[in-house]
Structure 1
Amino acid sequence: MRDIKGALGQIADKLNQIPTRDDLWSWKLQWAAIGFGVMAIVIGGIIGGLAWIQPAPEKPSAPQPIVITVPKT
């Protein structure tokens, strides 16, 4: 009986160390928030990098004059 009580005591100690549903739910939310943050940083870095390597826009040329030719009658 003493051996069984000792084994049950060890099992009870191990069960107390197992995370609860609330622990698992809070961990899930934390990992989701970290995942969204990492995705935002990666996407922002890609967009920022592409904007950085984009060539500078050329200066617009002067507008061309509009020439209207009136036919001779």
Structure 2
Amino acid sequence: MAGAFWGTRVMEIVKKHDSGGLVWKRIKLTSTRKANAKKRLHRVWQKKVVNKFKLTFDSLLKLELSCKFRIHN
């Protein structure tokens, strides 16, 4: 599972004070950053699962309503 986080937050955008532009800076993946990345990944996957379930539930509900409508007509 550790392989999933190797590329997480290795580069960070920082603003240079003298040039005014944005510059990429290399940062180390500390244990805190790794833990935060795991939590972030978990939230993203949970959101995807909830959205998928909601879409499935909504489509089943519409199907059920359309079947009831057809039976009564």
Superposition TM-score tier, normalisation by shorter sequence: 0.5 to 0.7
| Higher RCO, Cα 8 Å, sep 6+ | 2
Structure 1: gaps (5+ residues):
1-15, 60-73
**Structure 2 partner of 1:18:** 28
Unaligned runs of 5+ in 2: 1-25
How far apart, CA to CA, are the structure 1 residues paired with 2:68 and 2:31? Answer: 54
Distance 1:17 1:48 in 2: 44
2:42 aligned residue: 32
Larger radius of gyration: 1
TM-score, normalised by the number of residues in structure 1: 0.53
Percent identity over paired residues? 7
Q: Compare the two structures and name the one with the higher strand fraction.
A: 2
TM-score, structure 2 as length reference: 0.53
